[in-house]
Amino acid sequence: MFTATELNIRNQKIERRVKLLFLLMTILLVIPVILILGVLVYEGGPLISVDFLLTDPKDGMTAGGIFPALVGTIWLVIVALLVSVPIGVAAALYLSEYARDNWLTRVINLAIINLAGVPSIVHALFGVGAFVLFFGFGTSILAASLTLAVMTLPVVIVSTREALQAVPQAFREACWNMGATRWQTIRHVVLPNSVSGILTGVILEVSRTAGETAPIMFTGAAFFLPFLPQTVLDQTMAMSLHLFVVSTQVPGVPEQLPFSVALVLIAIVLTMNSISIAFRIYLRGKKKW
Amino acid sequence: MDRQPSPAIDTQDLNLWYGTFQALFDVNLKIKSGLITSLIGPSGCGKTTFLRCINRINERLGYVRTTGSIEVLGHDIYAPEVELIQVRKLVGMVFQRPNPLPLSIRENILFGFRTHNAGKKITKSDEDQIVEDALKRVLLWDTVSSRLHHSATHLSLEEQQKLCIARLLPVKPAVLLMDEPCSALDPRATEAVEELIWELRGDFTILIVTHNMAQARRASDECIFMLLGKVIEHGLTEDVFISPEHKETADYIEGRYG
Ligand SMILES: Nc1ncnc2c1ncn2[C@@H]1O[C@H](COP(=O)(O)OP(=O)(O)OP(=O)(O)O)[C@@H](O)[C@H]1O
Ligand SMILES: [Mg+2]
C-alpha cells in the first residue's frame, strides 16, 4: 500500500540529481578560495616574519619589509572611517527613521543604490577632481581617504538602514505611544538594538576599503616613500598599491615577495571580518528579544 | 446621556482617508468618562483606525488625511497649538501583540515617565516607588518584584501585556486605548487581563476593541458597533446585545458576518 509508485521513484531520482548539482556548485565555489589561500600561504608564507612587517622596503623594493605600506593602509582606513561612518549612519537614520515615504526619498534611495554600483576608478577620478584639485588637498592621505569614504558611503548607508529596519516596528510604536520623540526612540531603543548590525556592516566595509587600489592610486598613495606619514596631508604607501607595484612595476623582485604582500593584505581583511563576526555574536548574545 | 458630565472623548464628523481610500465616515461618538466602552465590528471596519486617531498616531503615515474634530477631556486634540507628546501622555495605548521594549521590566515602567520628566531630578527611591505602584496596580508586583532587572521580553505574554498597561500609568493618563489586548493570549490569560481591565475601571476611560463578543458583553459598560467605517450603533452594552436597534448589529452579534 505504501510502496513507491513510478512517479515517486522518478521524483527521487530528480531530487538526487538536483542535490548533487547544487553540491558540485558549492564545491566549485569553495575550491578557488582554498586554492588562493593555499598558494598564498605556500608561496608567501616563508618570507613573512616580524621583520617583514616592521621594516622598510630595500634595494628598489626588491627586498626588505612592508612597514610603511602597512601603516599607510591603517591611516587610510581610519581616516576614511572617521568620515564615512558618522555621515553614513546619520543619513541612514534620517532615511529610515525620519523621512516620509515620498518621491524625494525614493529618488535619494535610488541614487544611493546606484552610487554603490559606480566603478571605483570613477570614484578615483572624482577624488582627483574634487579633493586633490578643487579643495587643494593635493595627493594626500586626506584626499585618498575622502575618496574612499565617498566610495563606501552608499554601502554604509544601505547596511545601516538594513540594521535599523531589522528593529521591529512595534518597539518604535510603543515608544511613540509613550510620548517619546523620534530621537529618544532612536537613542534608547533603535540604536541599542541595531548597533551590532551597523558595526558589522561598517567593519565589512572597512575590509573592502583596505583592499582598494584604484581610488587611492591617484589621490594619495605613493609608489615608494621611505618614511611614514606625519599628518593627513602627507602622501603614503599602501598595501594594495604596493602589491600592484611589486607584482608588475619593478624589475627583479623575488618571486615570493608579491605573494607575501598579498598574504598580509588578506590577513588584514580576514582579521577584520573575524572581528566583525565576533562582535556580532557578542552583541547578539546581549540582545533582549 | 444628558445627565452625564462631559464625555471623555467626543468626536464630531470624523472622516479619515488612507490616500484615496476612506476608512472612517462621519464618526460622531461621545465616550463616557470612567467607563469601559467596547468597540466591535467585522475585520476591516475601521476600529483600529478610529482608535489610532485618538492619540494621533495615524499621522505617522504621510498619506493619512482627517477632517472633523476629536475632543479629549474637552480639548480639541487636532487644534494647531496641540503638542503631540502631551496628547500621548493623556491617551495611552495598548496593542494587540504585547510590545514591551527590549529593556528590563523596571526600565519599561520608567521609560514613559522619564521621557516626560527629562531633565528633572528623580531619586532612585522615587523611581522604585513608581515601579512598585504601577506593577501593583496591574496585579503584577507579586510575580515580578524579585526580577525587576530581567528583560521584559522574557515574561509570559499575559505578563507582558500587563506590563504594557503598567508602563502607561506613571504619567497618569486619562484615557486608555486597547486594540484587541487579549487576542494574542490564551483563555486563562485573557481572563486575567480582562479582570485587570475591569479593575482599572473608574480611574480611566477605557476604549477597547475586541472580536470576542463574550468579552465585550461581560467586560464593558457601553458598546459601539461599526461597519464599513461607520458607527451603526452605540449604547449600553446590555441594550446592544439584548435588543439592538439595527438589523446589522443583530446579524453581527449572532455571528452572521466575519
Ligand atoms: N496603513 C493603512 N494604509 C492603507 N489602508 C489601511 C491602513 N490601515 C488600515 N487600512 C484600511 O482601512 C480599513 C480599516 O482598517 P482597520 O485596521 O482600522 O480595521 P479594523 O476594524 O481594525 O480591522 P481588524 O478587526 O482586522 O483589526 C481597512 O479596509 C484597511 O484595509
Ligand atoms: Mg484592528
- The residue nearest atom 20 of ligand 1, judged by CA position, is B44
Nearest residue of chain B to residue A179 (CA atoms): B85
* pLDDT for the residue A219: 86
CB A238 within 8 Å of CB A76: yes
Chain segment A215-225, per-residue pLDDT in tens: 888 888 877 77
Count the domains in chain A: 1
pLDDT in the model for residue A277: 82
Q: Name the pTM for this structure.
A: 0.80
Identify the domain containing residue A239 by its residue range: 65-285
Query: Mutate which of B38, B45, B177 to test ligand 1's pocket (most atoms within 8 Å of Cβ)?
Result: B45
**A6 lies in some domain:** no
Q: Select from A170, A189, A192 the Cβ nearest to the Cβ of B97.
A: A170
A171 CB neighbours in chain B (<8 A) are 99, 101-102
In a domain, A138, yes or no: yes
Please indicate, yes or no, if residue B3 is contained in any of the structural domains. no
Question: Do A212 and A84 touch, CB atoms closer than 8 A?
Answer: no
| Chain-chain contact of A170 with B89 (C-beta, under 8 angstroms) | no
Interface ipTM above 0.90: no
DSSP, residue by residue, A252-263: T--THHHHHHHH
CATH code of A260's domain: 1.10.3720.10
Helix (H, G, I), strand (E, B) or coil at B10: strand
Minimum-distance ligand 1 atom for the alpha carbon of B42 = 25
| A31 domain-assigned | no
For residue A223, is it within any domain? yes
Distance of CA A129 to the CA centre of its chain: 24
Please report the pLDDT score of residue B3 as a whole number.
52
Calculate how far, in angstroms, residue B49's C-alpha sits from the geometric centre of ligand 1.
Answer: 6
First-to-last C-alpha distance (Å) of chain A = 48
- Judge whether B241 lies within some domain: yes
The answer to whether residue A117 is domain-embedded is: yes
Report yes or no on A44 lying in a domain.
no
Asked if residue B4 is part of any domain, the answer here is no
Three-class secondary structure of residue B256 per DSSP: coil
d(CA B255, CA A83): 62
Cβ of residue A190 closer than 8 Å to a chain B Cβ: no
Copy the grid coordinates of residue A47: 618570507
Please tell me the total count of domains within chain B: 1
Residue B232 falls inside a structural domain: yes
Going from the first residue of chain B to its last (258 residues), give the mean pLDDT of each consecutive group of 10, the final group possibly shorter: 70 91 92 91 91 86 87 89 88 90 90 85 88 89 88 88 92 91 87 88 91 86 91 89 85 73
* Contact yes or no for A193 and B102 at CB 8 A: yes
A184 touches chain B (CB under 8 A): yes
Per-residue tens of pLDDT for chain A, all 289 residues: 788 888 999 999 999 999 999 999 999 999 999 999 999 999 888 888 888 888 887 777 777 888 888 888 888 888 888 999 999 999 999 999 888 878 888 999 899 888 888 888 888 898 888 888 898 888 888 999 999 999 888 889 999 999 999 898 888 888 888 888 889 899 988 998 888 888 888 887 877 888 888 888 888 887 777 778 888 778 888 888 888 888 888 887 888 888 888 999 888 888 888 888 887 788 777 665 5
Report CA torsion sign: A99, A103, A107, A113: positive
B93 Cα to chain A: minimum distance (Å): 6
Range of the domain at B121: 9-253
- Tell me, what CATH number does B217's domain have? 3.40.50.300
How many angstroms does the Cα of residue B48 sit away from the middle of ligand 1?
7
Contacts of residue A42, Cβ cutoff 8 Å, sequence gap at least 6: none
Query: Is the dihedral angle over the CA atoms B154, B159, B164, B169 positive or is it negative?
Result: negative
* B161 CB within 8 Å of a chain A CB: no
Using CB atoms, which residue from A102, A170, A193 is nearest to B99? A170
pLDDT digits (tens, 9 = 90+) for A51-93: 888 888 777 777 788 888 888 888 888 888 899 999 999 999 9
Cβ distance of B55 and A289 shorter than 8 Å: no
Which residues from chain B sit within 8 angstroms of residue A178, using beta carbons? 88, 92, 111-112, 115, 167-168, 171
CB pairs under 8 A between A and B: 69
pLDDT of residue A93: 93
